[in-house]
Structure 1
Amino acid sequence: MSFSLEERGNPNSLSYRLFLKNAEGKYVSPFHDIPMYADKNQNIFHMVVEVPRWTNAKMEIATKDLLNPIKQDVKKGKLRYVANVFPHKGYIWNYGAIPQTWEDPAHKDGDTGCCGDNDPIDVCEIGSKVCSRGEVIKVKVLGILAMIDEGETDWKVIAINVEDPEASDLNSISDVRRLKPGYLKATVDWFRKYKVPDGKPENKFAFNEEFKDKDFAIEVIENTHNFWKDLISKKASAGELNCKNTCVSGCDSPYFCSGDEAKAAVAETCPCGKEEPIPSSVDRCFFYEK
Protein backbone atom coordinates (compact mmCIF):
# COMPACT_ATOMS: atom_id res chain seq x y z
CA MET A 1 0.00 0.00 0.00
CA SER A 2 1.62 3.24 -1.16
CA PHE A 3 0.72 6.88 -0.69
CA SER A 4 1.79 10.16 -2.24
CA LEU A 5 1.74 13.68 -0.83
CA GLU A 6 0.39 16.99 -2.08
CA GLU A 7 1.58 20.19 -0.41
CA ARG A 8 -0.66 23.24 -0.33
CA GLY A 9 0.05 26.69 1.05
CA ASN A 10 3.42 28.06 2.13
CA PRO A 11 5.57 25.77 4.29
CA ASN A 12 6.17 27.20 7.79
CA SER A 13 3.02 29.32 7.56
CA LEU A 14 -0.58 29.16 8.77
CA SER A 15 -1.71 28.23 5.25
CA TYR A 16 0.39 25.07 4.95
CA ARG A 17 -1.41 21.75 4.48
CA LEU A 18 -0.16 18.30 3.49
CA PHE A 19 -2.76 16.05 1.84
CA LEU A 20 -2.38 12.33 1.22
CA LYS A 21 -3.39 10.32 -1.85
CA ASN A 22 -3.54 6.56 -2.29
CA ALA A 23 -2.00 4.58 -5.16
CA GLU A 24 -5.07 5.30 -7.34
CA GLY A 25 -4.61 9.05 -6.87
CA LYS A 26 -7.66 9.40 -4.60
CA TYR A 27 -7.41 11.84 -1.71
CA VAL A 28 -7.54 9.99 1.61
CA SER A 29 -7.80 10.89 5.26
CA PRO A 30 -4.75 9.79 7.27
CA PHE A 31 -7.08 9.58 10.27
CA HIS A 32 -9.74 7.34 8.73
CA ASP A 33 -8.80 5.86 5.35
CA ILE A 34 -5.41 4.22 5.99
CA PRO A 35 -5.82 0.76 7.55
CA MET A 36 -4.53 0.42 11.09
CA TYR A 37 -2.87 -2.91 10.35
CA ALA A 38 -0.27 -3.35 7.64
CA ASP A 39 -0.12 -7.06 8.54
CA LYS A 40 -2.50 -8.20 11.28
CA ASN A 41 -1.04 -11.70 11.51
CA GLN A 42 2.39 -10.26 12.28
CA ASN A 43 1.08 -7.36 14.40
CA ILE A 44 2.57 -4.81 12.00
CA PHE A 45 0.85 -1.41 12.05
CA HIS A 46 0.77 1.59 9.75
CA MET A 47 2.18 4.83 11.14
CA VAL A 48 1.68 8.28 9.66
CA VAL A 49 4.80 10.35 10.32
CA GLU A 50 3.82 13.84 11.46
CA VAL A 51 7.17 15.08 12.82
CA PRO A 52 10.57 13.88 11.58
CA ARG A 53 13.27 13.39 14.20
CA TRP A 54 15.31 16.48 15.22
CA THR A 55 12.70 18.94 13.94
CA ASN A 56 10.69 21.34 16.13
CA ALA A 57 7.50 22.19 14.21
CA LYS A 58 4.56 20.57 15.98
CA MET A 59 2.87 19.07 12.95
CA GLU A 60 -0.24 16.94 13.41
CA ILE A 61 -3.14 15.30 11.65
CA ALA A 62 -5.84 17.99 11.57
CA THR A 63 -8.64 15.94 13.10
CA LYS A 64 -11.21 18.75 12.78
CA ASP A 65 -10.53 19.54 9.08
CA LEU A 66 -12.02 17.89 6.02
CA LEU A 67 -9.70 15.08 4.82
CA ASN A 68 -7.62 15.61 7.98
CA PRO A 69 -4.48 16.98 6.28
CA ILE A 70 -1.26 17.37 8.24
CA LYS A 71 -0.74 20.93 9.41
CA GLN A 72 1.16 22.78 12.12
CA ASP A 73 -0.50 23.25 15.48
CA VAL A 74 -1.38 26.84 16.34
CA LYS A 75 -1.46 28.52 19.75
CA LYS A 76 -2.76 32.06 20.20
CA GLY A 77 -2.58 32.62 16.45
CA LYS A 78 1.06 31.57 16.13
CA LEU A 79 2.62 28.41 14.78
CA ARG A 80 3.69 26.06 17.52
CA TYR A 81 7.25 24.76 17.87
CA VAL A 82 8.51 22.54 20.68
CA ALA A 83 11.40 23.97 22.67
CA ASN A 84 14.86 22.45 22.79
CA VAL A 85 15.01 21.38 26.43
CA PHE A 86 18.65 20.55 27.07
CA PRO A 87 20.07 18.13 26.08
CA HIS A 88 17.36 17.43 23.49
CA LYS A 89 17.02 18.97 20.02
CA GLY A 90 13.44 18.99 18.76
CA TYR A 91 11.70 15.61 18.71
CA ILE A 92 14.06 12.75 19.57
CA TRP A 93 12.18 10.14 17.50
CA ASN A 94 10.12 10.13 14.35
CA TYR A 95 6.75 11.07 15.82
CA GLY A 96 3.33 10.33 14.43
CA ALA A 97 0.10 8.39 14.83
CA ILE A 98 -1.54 5.07 14.04
CA PRO A 99 -4.53 5.61 11.72
CA GLN A 100 -8.01 4.32 12.54
CA THR A 101 -7.42 4.77 16.27
CA TRP A 102 -9.02 7.26 18.65
CA GLU A 103 -8.50 7.99 22.34
CA ASP A 104 -12.12 8.53 23.34
CA PRO A 105 -12.50 11.57 25.64
CA ALA A 106 -15.66 10.02 27.10
CA HIS A 107 -13.88 6.82 28.16
CA LYS A 108 -12.07 6.73 31.50
CA ASP A 109 -9.16 4.33 31.26
CA GLY A 110 -9.16 1.69 33.99
CA ASP A 111 -5.37 1.83 34.38
CA THR A 112 -4.75 5.56 34.26
CA GLY A 113 -8.02 6.81 35.73
CA CYS A 114 -8.17 9.51 33.03
CA CYS A 115 -10.17 9.95 29.83
CA GLY A 116 -8.66 9.95 26.33
CA ASP A 117 -7.22 13.02 24.62
CA ASN A 118 -9.53 12.95 21.53
CA ASP A 119 -6.70 12.14 19.08
CA PRO A 120 -5.34 9.11 17.25
CA ILE A 121 -2.83 7.18 19.36
CA ASP A 122 0.72 8.59 19.21
CA VAL A 123 3.84 6.70 18.11
CA CYS A 124 7.53 7.28 18.78
CA GLU A 125 9.49 5.48 16.05
CA ILE A 126 13.02 4.82 17.33
CA GLY A 127 14.87 3.47 14.29
CA SER A 128 18.06 4.87 12.78
CA LYS A 129 16.43 6.55 9.76
CA VAL A 130 15.05 10.09 9.85
CA CYS A 131 11.65 9.78 8.17
CA SER A 132 9.81 12.40 6.11
CA ARG A 133 6.73 14.37 7.05
CA GLY A 134 3.61 12.61 5.79
CA GLU A 135 5.42 9.33 5.12
CA VAL A 136 3.36 6.21 5.84
CA ILE A 137 5.57 3.47 7.27
CA LYS A 138 5.05 0.00 8.69
CA VAL A 139 6.06 -0.39 12.31
CA LYS A 140 6.62 -3.14 14.83
CA VAL A 141 5.33 -2.27 18.30
CA LEU A 142 7.76 -2.69 21.19
CA GLY A 143 5.99 -1.17 24.18
CA ILE A 144 4.01 1.80 25.46
CA LEU A 145 4.20 4.69 27.92
CA ALA A 146 1.11 6.10 29.66
CA MET A 147 1.50 9.87 29.82
CA ILE A 148 -1.03 12.00 31.68
CA ASP A 149 -1.24 15.34 29.86
CA GLU A 150 -3.25 17.95 31.78
CA GLY A 151 -5.54 15.26 33.17
CA GLU A 152 -5.96 13.29 29.93
CA THR A 153 -4.61 9.86 29.00
CA ASP A 154 -2.10 10.29 26.16
CA TRP A 155 -0.56 6.94 25.25
CA LYS A 156 2.88 6.91 23.57
CA VAL A 157 3.56 3.76 21.58
CA ILE A 158 7.23 2.81 21.18
CA ALA A 159 7.83 1.20 17.78
CA ILE A 160 10.37 0.68 15.02
CA ASN A 161 10.08 0.84 11.25
CA VAL A 162 10.14 -2.75 9.96
CA GLU A 163 12.48 -1.63 7.16
CA ASP A 164 15.00 -0.14 9.56
CA PRO A 165 18.39 -1.91 9.73
CA GLU A 166 17.93 -2.31 13.49
CA ALA A 167 14.41 -3.80 13.30
CA SER A 168 15.43 -7.46 13.47
CA ASP A 169 17.29 -6.86 16.75
CA LEU A 170 14.49 -4.94 18.46
CA ASN A 171 11.46 -7.05 19.38
CA SER A 172 10.57 -5.94 22.90
CA ILE A 173 10.88 -3.02 25.29
CA SER A 174 13.68 -4.89 27.08
CA ASP A 175 15.59 -4.98 23.77
CA VAL A 176 15.33 -1.19 23.65
CA ARG A 177 16.77 -0.91 27.17
CA ARG A 178 19.62 -3.26 26.24
CA LEU A 179 20.54 -1.97 22.77
CA LYS A 180 19.66 1.72 23.13
CA PRO A 181 20.69 2.49 26.72
CA GLY A 182 19.23 5.73 28.01
CA TYR A 183 16.71 6.17 25.19
CA LEU A 184 13.64 5.25 27.24
CA LYS A 185 14.79 7.41 30.15
CA ALA A 186 15.33 10.29 27.71
CA THR A 187 11.84 9.69 26.31
CA VAL A 188 10.23 10.09 29.74
CA ASP A 189 12.39 13.17 30.39
CA TRP A 190 11.38 14.71 27.04
CA PHE A 191 7.66 14.21 27.59
CA ARG A 192 7.87 15.35 31.19
CA LYS A 193 9.48 18.70 30.38
CA TYR A 194 8.60 19.69 26.81
CA LYS A 195 5.73 22.00 27.79
CA VAL A 196 7.54 23.67 30.70
CA PRO A 197 9.11 26.42 28.50
CA ASP A 198 5.53 27.39 27.52
CA GLY A 199 4.60 27.92 31.15
CA LYS A 200 2.89 24.56 31.60
CA PRO A 201 3.51 22.15 34.50
CA GLU A 202 5.45 18.94 34.07
CA ASN A 203 3.50 16.05 32.59
CA LYS A 204 2.83 13.01 34.76
CA PHE A 205 2.83 9.29 33.98
CA ALA A 206 0.89 6.23 35.06
CA PHE A 207 2.57 3.00 36.19
CA ASN A 208 5.28 4.91 38.07
CA GLU A 209 6.78 6.07 34.72
CA GLU A 210 7.35 2.48 33.60
CA PHE A 211 6.99 1.31 30.00
CA LYS A 212 4.55 -1.53 29.50
CA ASP A 213 5.41 -4.42 27.19
CA LYS A 214 4.45 -5.19 23.61
CA ASP A 215 1.37 -7.28 24.41
CA PHE A 216 -0.01 -4.56 26.66
CA ALA A 217 0.67 -1.98 23.94
CA ILE A 218 -1.12 -3.98 21.24
CA GLU A 219 -4.15 -4.38 23.52
CA VAL A 220 -4.26 -0.61 24.08
CA ILE A 221 -4.00 0.04 20.32
CA GLU A 222 -6.80 -2.41 19.57
CA ASN A 223 -8.97 -0.74 22.20
CA THR A 224 -8.43 2.64 20.54
CA HIS A 225 -9.28 1.02 17.20
CA ASN A 226 -12.60 -0.11 18.66
CA PHE A 227 -13.24 3.43 19.90
CA TRP A 228 -12.53 4.66 16.36
CA LYS A 229 -15.00 2.13 14.92
CA ASP A 230 -17.65 3.49 17.26
CA LEU A 231 -16.73 7.00 16.13
CA ILE A 232 -16.93 6.27 12.41
CA SER A 233 -20.23 4.37 12.81
CA LYS A 234 -21.79 7.21 14.84
CA LYS A 235 -22.04 5.11 18.00
CA ALA A 236 -19.85 7.71 19.72
CA SER A 237 -20.12 11.47 19.56
CA ALA A 238 -17.69 13.07 17.12
CA GLY A 239 -17.97 16.54 18.60
CA GLU A 240 -15.80 18.82 16.46
CA LEU A 241 -13.93 15.95 14.80
CA ASN A 242 -14.27 15.63 11.03
CA CYS A 243 -15.05 12.01 10.17
CA LYS A 244 -15.46 12.46 6.41
CA ASN A 245 -13.58 9.78 4.49
CA THR A 246 -13.26 8.56 0.91
CA CYS A 247 -12.67 4.82 1.43
CA VAL A 248 -14.19 3.53 4.67
CA SER A 249 -17.85 4.58 4.60
CA GLY A 250 -20.44 3.50 2.09
CA CYS A 251 -21.95 6.03 -0.31
CA ASP A 252 -25.07 6.27 1.85
CA SER A 253 -23.09 7.28 4.95
CA PRO A 254 -23.15 10.92 6.10
CA TYR A 255 -19.40 10.55 6.56
CA PHE A 256 -18.76 9.56 2.94
CA CYS A 257 -16.68 12.07 0.97
CA SER A 258 -16.88 11.74 -2.81
CA GLY A 259 -13.90 12.24 -5.06
CA ASP A 260 -15.36 15.50 -6.37
CA GLU A 261 -15.97 16.81 -2.85
CA ALA A 262 -12.41 15.92 -1.86
CA LYS A 263 -10.92 17.64 -4.91
CA ALA A 264 -13.01 20.74 -4.27
CA ALA A 265 -11.85 20.87 -0.65
CA VAL A 266 -8.19 20.71 -1.66
CA ALA A 267 -8.71 23.28 -4.42
CA GLU A 268 -10.08 25.73 -1.85
CA THR A 269 -6.72 25.78 -0.05
CA CYS A 270 -3.83 27.97 -1.20
CA PRO A 271 -1.52 26.61 -3.92
CA CYS A 272 1.90 25.52 -2.74
CA GLY A 273 4.12 28.59 -2.45
CA LYS A 274 7.42 29.86 -1.15
CA GLU A 275 8.69 28.49 2.13
CA GLU A 276 8.51 30.99 4.98
CA PRO A 277 11.53 31.39 7.29
CA ILE A 278 11.51 29.59 10.62
CA PRO A 279 11.86 32.02 13.57
CA SER A 280 15.40 32.12 14.95
CA SER A 281 14.00 31.61 18.46
CA VAL A 282 13.25 27.99 17.55
CA ASP A 283 16.99 27.21 17.85
CA ARG A 284 17.19 28.52 21.40
CA CYS A 285 18.18 25.96 24.03
CA PHE A 286 16.12 25.90 27.22
CA PHE A 287 17.86 24.82 30.42
CA TYR A 288 15.56 23.48 33.07
CA GLU A 289 16.09 21.87 36.44
CA LYS A 290 13.22 21.12 38.77
Structure 2
Amino acid sequence: MAYSVEEKGRPYTTDYQVFFQNAEGKYISPFHDIPLYADEAQNIFHAVIEVPRWTNAKMEIATKEPLNPVKQDVKNDKVRYVANVFPHKGYIWNYGAIPQTWEDPNHKDADTGYYGDNDPIDICDIGEKVCSRGEVIRVKVLGTLALIDEGQTDWKVIVINTEDPQANEFNDIEDVRRLKPGYLEATHDWFKRYKVPDGKPENEFAFNGEFKNKDFATKIVRGTHQYWRALILNQAEAGELNCINTTVADSPFRISAAAAEDIVKAASPLGPAAPIPSSGKT
Protein backbone atom coordinates (compact mmCIF):
# COMPACT_ATOMS: atom_id res chain seq x y z
CA MET A 1 0.00 0.00 0.00
CA ALA A 2 1.27 3.46 -0.89
CA TYR A 3 1.38 6.25 1.67
CA SER A 4 1.80 9.99 1.28
CA VAL A 5 2.41 12.90 3.63
CA GLU A 6 1.03 16.40 4.03
CA GLU A 7 3.18 19.00 5.77
CA LYS A 8 1.69 21.71 7.94
CA GLY A 9 3.23 24.69 9.72
CA ARG A 10 6.77 26.00 9.29
CA PRO A 11 9.55 23.38 9.20
CA TYR A 12 11.98 23.62 12.12
CA THR A 13 9.44 25.36 14.35
CA THR A 14 7.11 24.07 17.06
CA ASP A 15 4.02 24.18 14.81
CA TYR A 16 5.48 21.96 12.07
CA GLN A 17 3.58 18.70 11.55
CA VAL A 18 3.72 15.90 8.99
CA PHE A 19 0.38 14.12 8.58
CA PHE A 20 -0.04 10.79 6.80
CA GLN A 21 -2.54 9.53 4.22
CA ASN A 22 -3.12 6.04 2.87
CA ALA A 23 -3.65 5.06 -0.75
CA GLU A 24 -7.34 5.96 -0.47
CA GLY A 25 -6.48 9.49 0.60
CA LYS A 26 -7.72 8.87 4.15
CA TYR A 27 -5.77 10.54 6.94
CA ILE A 28 -4.20 7.97 9.24
CA SER A 29 -1.96 7.64 12.24
CA PRO A 30 1.56 6.39 11.44
CA PHE A 31 1.64 4.92 14.94
CA HIS A 32 -1.63 2.97 14.77
CA ASP A 33 -2.92 2.66 11.19
CA ILE A 34 0.09 1.49 9.17
CA PRO A 35 0.27 -2.30 9.53
CA LEU A 36 3.21 -3.89 11.33
CA TYR A 37 3.83 -6.28 8.45
CA ALA A 38 4.37 -5.43 4.81
CA ASP A 39 4.67 -9.18 4.14
CA GLU A 40 4.18 -11.38 7.19
CA ALA A 41 5.10 -14.60 5.38
CA GLN A 42 8.51 -13.17 4.51
CA ASN A 43 8.99 -11.32 7.84
CA ILE A 44 9.03 -7.95 6.05
CA PHE A 45 7.98 -5.04 8.26
CA HIS A 46 6.90 -1.47 7.61
CA ALA A 47 9.04 1.35 8.94
CA VAL A 48 8.22 5.06 9.14
CA ILE A 49 11.22 7.32 8.51
CA GLU A 50 11.31 10.21 10.96
CA VAL A 51 14.87 11.44 10.36
CA PRO A 52 16.69 11.09 7.01
CA ARG A 53 20.35 10.13 7.16
CA TRP A 54 22.88 12.97 7.68
CA THR A 55 20.27 15.39 9.08
CA ASN A 56 20.14 16.76 12.63
CA ALA A 57 16.55 17.83 13.35
CA LYS A 58 15.17 15.50 16.03
CA MET A 59 11.89 14.52 14.38
CA GLU A 60 9.61 11.87 15.86
CA ILE A 61 6.09 10.47 15.78
CA ALA A 62 4.11 12.65 18.20
CA THR A 63 2.57 9.87 20.25
CA LYS A 64 0.54 12.23 22.46
CA GLU A 65 -1.17 14.18 19.66
CA PRO A 66 -4.24 13.33 17.53
CA LEU A 67 -3.28 11.28 14.44
CA ASN A 68 0.32 11.20 15.74
CA PRO A 69 1.96 13.42 13.09
CA VAL A 70 5.73 13.53 12.83
CA LYS A 71 6.93 16.64 14.67
CA GLN A 72 10.23 18.06 15.84
CA ASP A 73 10.94 17.27 19.47
CA VAL A 74 10.78 20.26 21.79
CA LYS A 75 12.65 21.06 24.99
CA ASN A 76 12.22 24.30 26.94
CA ASP A 77 9.92 25.57 24.16
CA LYS A 78 12.68 25.18 21.55
CA VAL A 79 12.93 22.61 18.77
CA ARG A 80 15.71 20.08 19.25
CA TYR A 81 18.65 19.03 17.11
CA VAL A 82 21.34 16.43 17.68
CA ALA A 83 24.92 17.64 17.56
CA ASN A 84 27.51 16.39 15.10
CA VAL A 85 29.45 14.01 17.32
CA PHE A 86 32.87 13.57 15.70
CA PRO A 87 33.35 11.93 13.27
CA HIS A 88 29.62 11.61 12.55
CA LYS A 89 27.32 14.01 10.69
CA GLY A 90 23.82 14.05 12.16
CA TYR A 91 22.02 10.70 12.21
CA ILE A 92 24.15 8.06 10.49
CA TRP A 93 21.21 5.97 9.21
CA ASN A 94 17.65 6.66 8.15
CA TYR A 95 16.07 6.71 11.60
CA GLY A 96 12.46 5.92 12.36
CA ALA A 97 9.97 3.58 13.97
CA ILE A 98 8.03 0.39 13.34
CA PRO A 99 4.27 1.10 13.39
CA GLN A 100 1.89 -0.83 15.62
CA THR A 101 4.58 -1.45 18.23
CA TRP A 102 4.83 -0.05 21.75
CA GLU A 103 7.51 -0.35 24.42
CA ASP A 104 5.15 -0.59 27.38
CA PRO A 105 6.43 1.50 30.34
CA ASN A 106 4.58 -0.84 32.70
CA HIS A 107 6.38 -3.93 31.40
CA LYS A 108 9.77 -4.85 32.82
CA ASP A 109 11.78 -6.51 30.08
CA ALA A 110 13.04 -9.91 31.19
CA ASP A 111 16.24 -9.54 29.15
CA THR A 112 17.28 -5.98 30.09
CA GLY A 113 15.70 -5.67 33.52
CA TYR A 114 14.26 -2.24 32.62
CA TYR A 115 10.80 -0.98 31.71
CA GLY A 116 9.84 0.22 28.23
CA ASP A 117 10.22 3.83 27.09
CA ASN A 118 6.55 4.39 26.05
CA ASP A 119 7.33 4.77 22.33
CA PRO A 120 7.08 2.72 19.15
CA ILE A 121 10.19 0.63 18.61
CA ASP A 122 13.04 2.51 16.87
CA ILE A 123 14.79 1.45 13.67
CA CYS A 124 18.09 2.30 12.01
CA ASP A 125 17.91 1.67 8.26
CA ILE A 126 21.39 0.94 6.91
CA GLY A 127 20.40 0.92 3.23
CA GLU A 128 22.27 3.21 0.85
CA LYS A 129 19.24 5.36 -0.09
CA VAL A 130 18.73 8.57 1.87
CA CYS A 131 15.01 8.48 2.59
CA SER A 132 12.68 11.43 2.96
CA ARG A 133 10.90 12.49 6.14
CA GLY A 134 7.64 10.56 6.49
CA GLU A 135 8.58 7.95 3.91
CA VAL A 136 7.16 4.49 4.64
CA ILE A 137 9.52 1.70 3.62
CA ARG A 138 9.54 -2.09 3.73
CA VAL A 139 12.40 -3.49 5.80
CA LYS A 140 14.16 -6.69 6.82
CA VAL A 141 15.09 -6.92 10.50
CA LEU A 142 18.77 -7.81 10.99
CA GLY A 143 19.43 -7.38 14.71
CA THR A 144 19.10 -5.02 17.63
CA LEU A 145 21.01 -2.97 20.20
CA ALA A 146 19.49 -2.48 23.65
CA LEU A 147 20.06 1.12 24.71
CA ILE A 148 19.25 1.97 28.32
CA ASP A 149 18.02 5.56 28.06
CA GLU A 150 17.54 7.29 31.40
CA GLY A 151 16.62 4.00 33.06
CA GLN A 152 14.32 2.71 30.30
CA THR A 153 14.69 0.02 27.66
CA ASP A 154 15.02 1.67 24.25
CA TRP A 155 15.52 -0.95 21.53
CA LYS A 156 17.34 0.15 18.38
CA VAL A 157 16.49 -2.34 15.65
CA ILE A 158 18.93 -2.59 12.75
CA VAL A 159 17.08 -2.99 9.44
CA ILE A 160 17.66 -2.69 5.71
CA ASN A 161 15.26 -1.34 3.12
CA THR A 162 14.09 -4.22 0.93
CA GLU A 163 14.60 -1.98 -2.13
CA ASP A 164 18.31 -1.65 -1.39
CA PRO A 165 20.44 -3.19 -4.17
CA GLN A 166 22.22 -5.37 -1.59
CA ALA A 167 19.16 -6.30 0.46
CA ASN A 168 19.34 -9.97 -0.52
CA GLU A 169 22.87 -10.17 0.91
CA PHE A 170 21.80 -8.97 4.36
CA ASN A 171 19.98 -11.58 6.44
CA ASP A 172 21.42 -11.27 9.96
CA ILE A 173 23.54 -8.98 12.10
CA GLU A 174 26.81 -10.64 11.14
CA ASP A 175 26.16 -9.72 7.51
CA VAL A 176 26.26 -6.06 8.57
CA ARG A 177 29.59 -6.62 10.31
CA ARG A 178 30.97 -8.38 7.23
CA LEU A 179 29.60 -6.22 4.42
CA LYS A 180 29.61 -2.81 6.12
CA PRO A 181 32.71 -3.00 8.33
CA GLY A 182 32.69 -0.43 11.10
CA TYR A 183 29.00 0.41 10.81
CA LEU A 184 27.93 -1.46 13.96
CA GLU A 185 30.83 0.02 15.92
CA ALA A 186 29.85 3.49 14.67
CA THR A 187 26.24 2.85 15.65
CA HIS A 188 27.24 1.86 19.18
CA ASP A 189 29.52 4.90 19.42
CA TRP A 190 26.80 7.27 18.17
CA PHE A 191 24.21 6.10 20.68
CA LYS A 192 26.77 6.12 23.47
CA ARG A 193 27.86 9.73 22.94
CA TYR A 194 25.15 11.68 21.11
CA LYS A 195 23.82 13.32 24.29
CA VAL A 196 27.22 14.33 25.66
CA PRO A 197 27.29 17.72 23.84
CA ASP A 198 24.08 18.58 25.75
CA GLY A 199 25.88 18.06 29.03
CA LYS A 200 24.50 14.58 29.70
CA PRO A 201 26.55 11.47 30.55
CA GLU A 202 27.26 8.74 28.05
CA ASN A 203 24.40 6.31 27.50
CA GLU A 204 24.50 2.75 28.76
CA PHE A 205 23.50 -0.52 27.13
CA ALA A 206 22.19 -3.92 28.10
CA PHE A 207 24.24 -7.01 27.19
CA ASN A 208 27.48 -4.98 27.49
CA GLY A 209 26.59 -3.22 24.25
CA GLU A 210 26.43 -6.46 22.25
CA PHE A 211 24.21 -6.51 19.16
CA LYS A 212 21.63 -9.28 19.23
CA ASN A 213 20.78 -11.26 16.09
CA LYS A 214 17.82 -11.29 13.74
CA ASP A 215 15.81 -13.91 15.63
CA PHE A 216 16.18 -12.08 18.92
CA ALA A 217 15.27 -8.74 17.32
CA THR A 218 12.23 -10.20 15.56
CA LYS A 219 11.02 -11.63 18.87
CA ILE A 220 11.29 -8.17 20.44
CA VAL A 221 9.37 -6.54 17.59
CA ARG A 222 6.58 -9.10 17.80
CA GLY A 223 6.38 -8.68 21.56
CA THR A 224 6.04 -4.91 21.31
CA HIS A 225 3.29 -5.44 18.72
CA GLN A 226 1.32 -7.39 21.31
CA TYR A 227 1.72 -4.54 23.82
CA TRP A 228 0.49 -2.12 21.13
CA ARG A 229 -2.48 -4.38 20.47
CA ALA A 230 -3.50 -4.18 24.12
CA LEU A 231 -3.04 -0.40 23.99
CA ILE A 232 -5.22 0.19 20.92
CA LEU A 233 -7.97 -2.07 22.31
CA ASN A 234 -7.96 -0.09 25.57
CA GLN A 235 -6.71 -3.11 27.50
CA ALA A 236 -3.59 -1.28 28.70
CA GLU A 237 -3.13 2.05 30.40
CA ALA A 238 -2.53 4.67 27.70
CA GLY A 239 -1.67 7.56 29.98
CA GLU A 240 -0.94 10.61 27.80
CA LEU A 241 -0.69 8.59 24.58
CA ASN A 242 -3.20 9.45 21.88
CA CYS A 243 -4.75 6.32 20.37
CA ILE A 244 -7.02 7.97 17.79
CA ASN A 245 -6.99 5.98 14.56
CA THR A 246 -9.10 5.62 11.43
CA THR A 247 -8.65 1.99 10.37
CA VAL A 248 -8.30 -0.35 13.38
CA ALA A 249 -11.73 -1.96 13.18
CA ASP A 250 -12.03 -3.22 16.75
CA SER A 251 -10.49 -0.18 18.45
CA PRO A 252 -12.70 2.02 20.64
CA PHE A 253 -10.47 4.96 19.62
CA ARG A 254 -11.37 4.75 15.92
CA ILE A 255 -12.74 7.97 14.40
CA SER A 256 -14.34 8.79 11.06
CA ALA A 257 -12.45 10.00 8.02
CA ALA A 258 -14.28 13.33 8.33
CA ALA A 259 -13.18 13.75 11.96
CA ALA A 260 -9.59 12.99 10.98
CA GLU A 261 -9.78 15.54 8.17
CA ASP A 262 -10.96 18.16 10.65
CA ILE A 263 -7.85 17.54 12.76
CA VAL A 264 -5.58 18.19 9.79
CA LYS A 265 -7.56 21.24 8.62
CA ALA A 266 -7.10 22.82 12.06
CA ALA A 267 -3.30 22.78 11.68
CA SER A 268 -1.39 25.80 10.43
CA PRO A 269 -0.82 25.97 6.66
CA LEU A 270 2.61 25.04 5.33
CA GLY A 271 5.00 27.99 5.49
CA PRO A 272 8.66 28.76 4.82
CA ALA A 273 11.23 26.81 6.83
CA ALA A 274 12.90 28.52 9.77
CA PRO A 275 16.72 28.79 9.80
CA ILE A 276 18.60 25.77 11.13
CA PRO A 277 21.23 26.50 13.81
CA SER A 278 24.80 26.35 12.54
CA SER A 279 26.57 25.40 15.78
CA GLY A 280 27.50 21.87 14.75
CA LYS A 281 23.86 21.07 14.08
CA THR A 282 23.37 22.07 10.46
User: Aligned AA for 1:187?
Assistant: T
User: Aligned AA for 1:4?
Assistant: S
Measure, in 1, the Cα distance between the counterparts of 2:235 and 2:281.
45
What's the TM-score once normalised by structure 2's chain length?
Answer: 0.98
- 1:287 corresponds to: none
- 1:267 corresponds to: 265
SS of residue in 1 equivalent to 2:128: coil
4+ long deviations beyond 6 Å = none
Q: How big is each residue's C-alpha offset from its partner over 1:90-128, in whole Å with a ceiling of 9 and x where there is no partner?
A: 000000000000000000001100000000000000011
- 1:198 corresponds to: 198
Contact map agreement 1:49 1:96 (CA 8 A) in 2: yes
Measure, in 1, the Cα distance between the counterparts of 2:256 and 2:281.
43
Q: How big is each residue's C-alpha offset from its partner over 1:63-90, in whole Å with a ceiling of 9 and x where there is no partner?
A: 0000000000001111000010100100
Measure, in 2, the Cα distance between the counterparts of 1:95 and 1:283.
17
Measure, in 2, the Cα distance between the counterparts of 1:92 and 1:151.
24
Measure, in 2, the Cα distance between the counterparts of 1:66 and 1:108.
28
Equivalences for 1:73-152 in 2 at 5 Å? Answer: 73-152=73-152
The 1:89–1:259 alpha-carbon spacing in structure 2 relative to 1, beyond 3 Å, is same
- 2:55 corresponds to: 55
Q: How big is each residue's C-alpha offset from its partner over 1:12-52, in whole Å with a ceiling of 9 and x where there is no partner?
A: 11111000000000000000000000001100000000000
Measure, in 2, the Cα distance between the counterparts of 1:277 and 1:69.
22
Q: Percent identity?
A: 68
Q: How big is each residue's C-alpha offset from its partner over 1:211-266, in whole Å with a ceiling of 9 and x where there is no partner?
A: 0100000000000000000101111100000000000034xx54011111111111
Is 1:214 the counterpart of 2:230? The answer is: no
Measure, in 2, the Cα distance between the counterparts of 1:254 and 1:213.
36
Contact map agreement 1:19 1:27 (CA 8 A) in 2: yes
- 1:69 corresponds to: 69
User: Aligned AA for 2:200?
Assistant: K
Contact map agreement 1:81 1:282 (CA 8 A) in 2: no
- 1:34 corresponds to: 34
SS of residue in 1 equivalent to 2:279: helix
What's the TM-score once normalised by structure 1's chain length?
Answer: 0.96
Measure, in 1, the Cα distance between the counterparts of 2:199 and 2:105.
24
- 2:183 corresponds to: 183
User: Aligned AA for 1:29?
Assistant: S
Measure how far apart 1:283 and its partner are. 3.7
Measure how far apart 1:201 and its partner are. 1.3
Contact map agreement 1:56 1:282 (CA 8 A) in 2: no
SS of residue in 2 equivalent to 1:229: helix
Measure how far apart 1:59 and its partner are. 0.2
Measure, in 1, the Cα distance between the counterparts of 2:225 and 2:113.
19
SS of residue in 2 equivalent to 1:191: helix
The 1:259–1:282 alpha-carbon spacing in structure 2 relative to 1, beyond 3 Å, is farther
- 2:278 corresponds to: 280
2:255 to 241, 246, 257: 257
The 1:66–1:174 alpha-carbon spacing in structure 2 relative to 1, beyond 3 Å, is same
Measure, in 2, the Cα distance between the counterparts of 1:147 and 1:42.
27
SS of residue in 2 equivalent to 1:107: coil
